[in-house]
Structure 1
Amino acid sequence: MNINATFFGELLAVLLLLCVPLFAWLSYRLGKRKTTTPVLVAIIGGVLGLIPIFALIFVAVLCLKNDLTVPSADV
């Protein structure tokens, strides 16, 4: 059985083009609620999007992190 390497390469490129922005956006959205540095969290999520299983673990850990508390303004 022949496997077309060009098709495999194109499939891998499309997967990376979808995973990196998806995990960067998802990490940024979660990072805004859960950390004080959402841009850094988004960069880490985007880089880990190159290896999707690590990105999934990163997002899962980020989801389990407690939300930041917003100090209430007593006026």
Structure 2
Amino acid sequence: MGMNAVLIGQLIAFSTVIMVGPMCYYYGRRKTQHPIAVGILGVILGFLPPLGFIFLAFILLKNDIPKHTTVNSEEVA
């Protein structure tokens, strides 16, 4: 079986989807309130490698959301 340009292009596209999708979800958990939507959008944009990497860079440069802190009832009184 010979390696042709179509096969190499498909390997690049699918490897980009496999890398960008989960990374978008992982960083989407820390940086957005909708990590599933960010992960799905990352998978879709992963099929077009330049757009997938641009979206991942956008997510990485976004500020983290603040963590929720619980307040003890003793501190409130």
Cα offset, 1:74, TM superposition: 2.2
Determine whether 1:72 maps to 2:61: no
Return the letter of the residue paired with 1:74: V
Return the letter of the residue paired with 1:65: K
Determine whether 1:18 maps to 2:18: no
Q: Map residues 1-75 of structure 1 onto 2, 5 A cutoff.
A: 7-75=4-72
Identity %: 28
Gap runs ≥5 in structure 1: none
Return the letter of the residue paired with 1:27: C
Return the letter of the residue paired with 1:63: L
Which of structure 1's runs of 4+ aligned residues deviate more than 6 A?
A: none
Larger radius of gyration: 2
Indicate conservation of the 8 Å contact 2:17/2:47, yes or no: yes
- RMSD over aligned CA atoms reads 1.5
Q: Distance in 2 between matches of 1:48 and 1:33?
A: 20
Return the letter of the residue paired with 2:71: D
Residues paired across the two proteins, number: 71
Q: TM-score, normalised by structure 1?
A: 0.85
